[in-house]
Structure 1
Amino acid sequence: MPRILLDDAFAKKVDRPATGFVEFTDERIPSWNARVYPDKIVGSLRYKPLGSEKKKRFPLNEHPSITMAEMRRRAEAALGKVRSGADPAAEREAIRTERQKQEKESALDLGGLLDLYYPALAKLKDSWKQDQGYLERDARQQWIKIMPRYITTADCATRLQIVAARAPVAANRLHSALKLFFEWAVDQSHITVSPMLGVKKPTKERKDGEVDRVLSDAELVVLWRAIESARMIPGMRAAFQALALTGKRPDEIAGLSLAELQHLDDPTQAIADFPASRMKARRRHILPLTPPVVRIIKAQIALQEAEAKAEKRPMLDHIFASRFADRSRLARHSLSQCLRRIIPALDPTGEDGEIVKRLQADPPTPKAFRATCATGMARLGIPREDRKAVLAHVEDDIMARHYDAYDRLAEKRIALEAWARHVDGLLSGEKNTGAVIPIRAARG
């Protein structure tokens, strides 16, 4: 049996037999064998359990379902178990037996499998709750009574296209969530192959280097006015305004809590202290709160206090409340859904018709407020390092990571106050938005 480095380069250049298979052994892990078939490469680890003279075979999945690099990782992990006295093949068989027992006794459907998955998901990724939201909303309800092994590639592709029709970006997030879920299900022997294999993301996302959607001054004013006049819960409206004035990520604003706020009664000291667990870079971020943002937050607190008193219940933990009784805070996707309702409903024939047409032709997402804030501060002459500090972008060098602990709080406050004054000037009409006034409106 020839020995060769079993890597992805090998998988690309190896000659495939017309029928049957050719077997190879890895030159670094002699117990790892790969059978090359016309359309796949099947890996396995052959070993003797501690105290046994009989060899066993532990399957490592197959290429191209997984990469050869992943197959090597699995081989090394299984070999490590063998060296520690474990028997990976016996463990796998025990899992299979238990799964068969569960299916026989309780008919484990997709809903039951998702319930088993979520505790594991929490250990796999920090943003696991977002995955859970997509799976609950767009998978559990639709496939609730289907046995996981009967879900097909066509089922997954169709579900993604349905979601993409109403929420293109959410469809891509659902794609990632389903892919990870079914990979876990394969690893845990609940299914033999993932139905997401070969299913591509339904929506073409922004290319690397392409700038996020940025609102012009005129678009910002029109969208702000539309948000003010649209029918929505007060917490939603306030969250949009806070997004526009702070440049924070939508989920960070949606989840803003009372515990994160300090010094609201002192306009020169008011801050929001975001813990590392709520930040993308997993680093604590202190955001200065400008007077307009403080007013927005205080209005929401007063509103919630009045509602809590009237309903004889405790005050909610979060500033921007949800309309759902079982949820104390706004969901990130609720902001996106709200914009998707507001923008198409705008009148493209009115005084701001040209601006409305631009918004409808290239509709912004809630994240556009972040890009608009960053770009606007640049136009106002705010230094780059101060803009990065406002956006909580981490400097990726040794000094920033280990030695420079300065939070640029004063500089961030100056930057955000300049941006708040600019937005206020646009909304009050003191500043020109640069929009072209239609002739008929000018004559009127």
Structure 2
Amino acid sequence: MATNEAFTDQALKALKAPKRGRIELSDGRSQGLTFRLTDKGVRSFSFRFRCPITGRVQRFTIGDYPDVTLAKARVRADELRVAVANGQNPVDDRKRDRETRATRAFEAVAKRYLAEWAERNKAPSSVAQDRRALVKHVLPKWRHKNITTLRRGNITELLQGIVDAGTPVQANRVQALISKVFSFAVDQGLVDANPCARLPRQGGRETPAKRYLHDAEIPEFWKRCATAAMRPETGLALRLILLTGVRAAEAAGMQRSELRNLDDPAAAIWEIPGERTKNGLTHVVPLSEPARQCILEALRSAKEGQPYVFPSPVRAGESIQAHSLTVAMQRMAEHIEGGAAATWKADPPSPHDLRRTFRTKLSALGIPKDIRDRLMNHAPRDVGERHYDQYDFLKEKRDGLTRWAEALSELAASKETT
């Protein structure tokens, strides 16, 4: 077959591989189209052109023959020839396309969302929840998908899979997370619109949770937190949630550096920094005597130099995880006895339900709403409170927590009511 002879399928297939190196032929019919045959028997098409900017001869690989037919190779060569005539460099364009695809892969965008937005604006516990949801529900299906190609249909398909698995509330959480990733992508100029916009909740309407510990359940809960069936650090952290109303992640991640005046029962406080709270606001928690004793007991067990009050028993240098508190509450159902057993097993409470119990009991004790809100670390909505009132309400908060601790001590020590 001559070098500049027009290619035919018969000739290309009949061409014998060289003993060494490779053979390269030019198509006499399509300018720039070349055919290469290596000593390994690999046949491929490419396009040779002169860079319109540098004048340097370059090669653009079209594909292997016969996967890419001769007819398709000629069509592609014609397209590339037009592009070069218009001042483009196909090799540079392909490189840019590959780089663009890599930066627009959903996993790459999700990582940027976590690093550039979530970690700067959300509490570490919320960031961890986002990361777990992505790893479990989204990335296995969308890891390498170009975010610009994802449509509402892709989103609803993924979410319906979560709903069909029996976790509609989780589907709503994942939907909100996906929407945040897309909003971030819009802000970064990676996509033009958020396909989640105005998308109905795929998990359906949620009923606000109302679960809290009833008086018959509190003595059992308090007792089970101190049994051999539960790790000491876990039981103490759960008791602390009920005493202070903090979130599970805030209790689990308590650090020694956050504690003040721990040797003084009248002045002991726990200052949770904004980077560890859900709303980003520092939360100062006056410690009632039972809460202080929980912390002191935990510190007596923790190794010297350990930064966390509730260190992980399996991960050196880390605290216990909020999830471990959830698991402990679930397993507690196996040991609850008496009249509390029926309600506990019928509707097992979570660590967050301890926080709801705390708020409910504060109301029952007549603690003023503004103090209840501050003890829950709810962000003030009134302009005067947000910008002008700098009073810390520390005394009022301590009084409220002390009253609750006294009431809780009585409940925990009482015989369960049926």
Please give the TM-score of this superposition, normalised by the length of structure 2. 0.64
1:122 matched to 2:109:
no
Instruction: Look up the equivalent residue of 1:119 and give its one-letter code.
Output: A
Identify the residue that residue 179 of structure 2 maps to in structure 1: 179
**For the residues of structure 1 that align with 2:374 and 2:262, how far apart are their CA atoms?**
21
Cα displacement (A) at 1:359: 2.3
Identify the residue that residue 332 of structure 2 maps to in structure 1: 342
1:132 matched to 2:162:
no
Judge conservation of contact 2:302–2:310 (CA < 8 Å) in 1. Answer: no
Please point out which of 95, 98, 101 is paired with 1:101.
98
Identify the residue that residue 256 of structure 1 maps to in structure 2: 254
Cα displacement (A) at 1:407: 1.7
Identify the residue that residue 318 of structure 1 maps to in structure 2: 308
Identify the residue that residue 357 of structure 1 maps to in structure 2: 342
Q: Identify if the C-alpha distance between structure 1 residues 396 and 155 changes in structure 2 by more than 3 Å, giving closer, same or farther.
A: closer
Q: Identify if the C-alpha distance between structure 1 residues 284 and 234 changes in structure 2 by more than 3 Å, giving closer, same or farther.
A: same
Match of 2:207, SS? coil
Bigger CA radius of gyration = 2
Deviations 1:391-433 (A, max 9, x none): 233443343223322222222222212211222222222xx65
Judge conservation of contact 2:160–2:171 (CA < 8 Å) in 1. Answer: no
What is the aligned-residue RMSD (CA, Å)? 3.6
Identify the residue that residue 372 of structure 1 maps to in structure 2: 357
Judge conservation of contact 1:164–1:171 (CA < 8 Å) in 2. Answer: no
Q: Identify if the C-alpha distance between structure 1 residues 299 and 189 changes in structure 2 by more than 3 Å, giving closer, same or farther.
A: same
1:283 matched to 2:273:
no
Deviations 1:341-383 (A, max 9, x none): 433x356xx533xx32222333322222122122223323333
Cα displacement (A) at 1:292: 1.5
Deviations 1:260-302 (A, max 9, x none): 1011111111101223333344433321111221121122222
**For the residues of structure 1 that align with 2:316 and 2:117, how far apart are their CA atoms?**
22
**For the residues of structure 2 that align with 1:333 and 1:389, how far apart are their CA atoms?**
25
What does 1:191-340 align with in structure 2 at a 5 Å threshold?
A: 198=199, 200-202=201-203, 204-207=205-208, 212-229=210-227, 231-305=229-303, 315-325=305-315, 328-340=318-330
Residue segments in structure 2 that go unaligned for 5+ positions in a row: 1-92
**For the residues of structure 1 that align with 2:236 and 2:313, how far apart are their CA atoms?**
14
Taking only the aligned residue pairs, the percentage that are identical comes to 26
**For the residues of structure 1 that align with 2:363 and 2:156, how far apart are their CA atoms?**
47
Match of 2:285, SS? strand
Judge conservation of contact 1:131–1:177 (CA < 8 Å) in 2. Answer: no
Q: Identify if the C-alpha distance between structure 1 residues 101 and 141 changes in structure 2 by more than 3 Å, giving closer, same or farther.
A: closer
**For the residues of structure 2 that align with 1:136 and 1:317, how far apart are their CA atoms?**
29
Identify the residue that residue 423 of structure 1 maps to in structure 2: 408
**Would you say how many aligned residue pairs link Structure 1 and Structure 2?**
319
Deviations 1:33-73 (A, max 9, x none): xxxxxxxxxxxxxxxxxxxxxxxxxxxxxxxxxxxxxxxxx
**For the residues of structure 2 that align with 1:321 and 1:367, how far apart are their CA atoms?**
21
Match of 2:391, SS? coil
Q: Which moved more, 1:217-226 or 1:191-200?
A: 191-200
Cα displacement (A) at 1:219: 1.8
Judge conservation of contact 1:111–1:144 (CA < 8 Å) in 2. Answer: yes
Cα displacement (A) at 1:327: 6.7
Cα displacement (A) at 1:333: 3.6
Cα displacement (A) at 1:246: 0.8
Match of 1:243, SS? helix
Please give the TM-score of this superposition, normalised by the length of structure 1. 0.61
Cα displacement (A) at 1:124: 7.4
Identify the residue that residue 402 of structure 1 maps to in structure 2: 387
